[in-house]
Amino acid sequence: MLSDLRKGFKTTIDYLGTNADFKGKVIKLGFKTAGVKDEEVVNAYGVGAKILTIDIDTITVTPKKFDYIHIDSHKFVFEAVQPIYLGTEHVGYKIIVKGK
């Protein structure tokens, strides 16, 4: 079952994600602007905060606070980096970018 969830996690990012430059490597990541359902994120990081989801298999360097990523001509600085686990398997990172 966890292997099916892992495949679904990867497939979602592959099909719905956007390309970004992280430390000189082009990767695909999930990109979302925090909205009404993300009340805690908006309260903590401001209106327009972004939630990025990175599959651990696409990066070679662990992201950390104050790292940044380029998407098109925009630069996004990481405010918070949280690991994502499926069961005990570390599968990715959820990254918060501060809004206004």
Q: What is the pLDDT of residue 99?
A: 83
Q: Where are the domains of the chain?
A: 2-97
Residue 3: predicted pLDDT = 80
Contacts of 32 (CB under 8 A, 6+ apart): 50, 51, 52, 53
CA-based Rg of the chain, rounded to a whole angstrom? 13
- What is the C-alpha to C-alpha distance for residues 57 and 99, in angstroms, rounded to an integer? 27
What is the mean pLDDT of each successive set of 10 residues along the chain, which is 100 residues long? 79 89 94 87 90 93 95 95 93 92
Check residue 2 and give its pLDDT: 67
pLDDT of res. 39: 87
Supply the pLDDT for residue 56.
93
